[in-house]
Amino acid sequence: MSGKPLVAIVTAGLAKFGKREGLYGRELFQEAAKEAFDRCPNLDPKKDIEATFVGMMAEGFEHQGHTGPTVNAWLGFAPKPAFRTESACASSSAALAFGMYAVMSGAYDVVLCGGIEKMTNRSTPEVTEFLATASDFPFEQWHGITFPGLFAMMATAYMHRYGATEEHLAHVAVKNHYYGARNPKAHMQIEVTLEKVLSSRYVAWPLKLFDCSLITDGASCVVITRPELARKFTDTPVYIIGHGAAQDNIALYDRDDLTTSRAAREAAQKAYKMAGVEPKDIDVAEVHDCFTIAEIIAYEDLGFCGRGEGKDLVAEGQTYVGGKIPVNTSGGLKAKGHPVGATGTGQIYDIYKQLIGEAGPRQVPGAEIGLTHNLGGSAASAMVWILKRGD
């Protein structure tokens, strides 16, 4: 199967990330779907789309579960089937995986896959509590450990082992805000200086305010089909050629090494093997930078550099456009935003835009192969996707 297209993405959409007051999550999903449908006039959504797969993490944000039929009805797709998936922050990557499996099995020819999360209508303590349900209850949540605290432990371990500093972490935030400022869909469209990041208040040492992703509302989606049907809908298909999924122990205390993600490494190895490519072949990547340390670790887990070298890769500017491997040209979760259920297919959306040459001032010249890296929880789950521009 090496390098063979699994499915084709014929279109994609993204609701603007941010504080979207007065809108329900279902309305944000409508917004994302409308962009996808509008950019693909050869697609008749009500006729061609046979099923919907939607990822969402927490019912608590809107007190609304049963997400599949909720969004399907608002899209006018009922009585067609709709399914909700959950894998913490990788929930919409899970939706895409199950949608892909359904198409590859022959059950459907065309499906809509995406995700939503409406978070900003809740207070920060409420959001923190809901997100914490993706960590271990008796040994993490019960003792008051939050996700900033969990990733701070990873950062501390990494700093101790490899000599990284708070300044290394800050370089990730500076880069991602640089690109977020150039992304009209991003939540925080401002640049920040190294000094501003380093002088921001601590959230969980060594992580400061600008080391942490945003509480964000958003939705994203893609429409996928069998590769041989792609040209029926678009002249610019993007093919999924590699996919890997893996899990780790849910709790940090139960892992051998806090400076790497076993799930991400395993998922990446599977995806590279399936796609028939190596890390050096990737032209652009979107990685899961829920906290700045997560991006540095991702460089290493994905094979973009050796262990302990991620801190230097970003400090030397090698993850900007024009560098060795441009990463998070969308602004990443750090600046674009992290509406958890929408993040996975939100990353796919940005790689799709790169591969069809529509990323504007953030465009990587000649990008042909892209990668996304999506974690769930404290990297207890991971999915890696490899996409290729259609010939």
State whether 228 and 372 are in the same domain: no
CB 73 within 8 A of CB 152: no
Query: What's the mean pLDDT in 269-297?
Result: 98
DSSP string over 314-334: HHTTTTSTTSSS-B-TT-HHH
pLDDT tens digits, residue range 156-166?
Answer: 999 999 999 99
- Catalytic residues, which ones? 89, 338
CB 331 within 8 A of CB 180: yes
In this predicted structure, the answer to whether residue 8 has a pLDDT above a threshold of 60 is: yes
State whether 38 and 71 are in the same domain: yes
pLDDT at 80: 97
pLDDT at 3: 79
State whether 23 and 109 are in the same domain: yes
Q: How many domains does the chain have?
A: 2
The dihedral region occupied by 361, where left means phi > 0, alpha psi between -120 and 50, and beta the remainder, is alpha
* Amino acid code (one letter) for 273: K
d(CA 365, CA 289): 23
Look at strands 82-85 and 51-55 and give their pairing. Answer: parallel
* Cis upstream peptide for 45 (omega within 30°): no
Alpha helices in the chain (DSSP H): 25-38, 45-48, 67-75, 91-105, 124-132, 147-162, 166-180, 194-199, 230-233, 262-275, 292-301, 310-315, 332-335, 343-355
pLDDT at 320: 98
Both structure tokens of 45: 């959504």
Q: What are the two backbone dihedrals, phi and then psi, of residue 205, each rounded to the nearest 5 degrees? A: -50, 135
The distance between the two most distant Cα atoms of the chain, rounded to a whole number of Å, is 57
Q: Among candidates 344, 135, 123, which has minimal Cα distance to 240?
A: 344
pLDDT tens digits, residue range 255-276?
Answer: 999 999 999 999 999 999 999 9
pLDDT at 240: 98
CB 289 within 8 A of CB 89: no
State whether 174 and 283 are in the same domain: yes
State whether 99 and 180 are in the same domain: no
State whether 160 and 293 are in the same domain: yes
State whether 299 and 174 are in the same domain: yes
State whether 153 and 118 are in the same domain: no
Q: Among candidates 264, 326, 254, which has minimal Cα distance to 294?
A: 264
d(CA 239, CA 171): 32
State whether 180 and 306 are in the same domain: yes
d(CA 179, CA 129): 30
CATH number at residue 105: 3.40.47.10
Look at strands 207-208 and 284-286 and give their pairing. Answer: unpaired
Query: What's the mean pLDDT in 226-249?
Result: 98
Q: Tell me the pTM.
A: 0.98
State whether 290 and 381 are in the same domain: yes
d(CA 108, CA 116): 23
Q: Please report which helix (H) or strand (E) contains residue 242, including its range.
A: strand 238-247
d(CA 306, CA 320): 18
Angle in degrees, CA 285, 289, 290, rounded to 5:
150
CB 217 within 8 A of CB 14: no
State whether 173 and 260 are in the same domain: yes
Q: Is residue 127 part of a domain?
A: no
pLDDT tens digits, residue range 104-144?
Answer: 999 999 999 999 999 999 999 999 999 999 999 999 999 99
Instruction: Give the Å distances, CA to CA, from 253 to 5, 165, 223, 331, 380.
Output: 39, 23, 39, 31, 12
Range of the domain at 273: 136-213+241-389
Give the CB-side neighbour count of residue 381, counting CA atoms within 13 A. Answer: 16
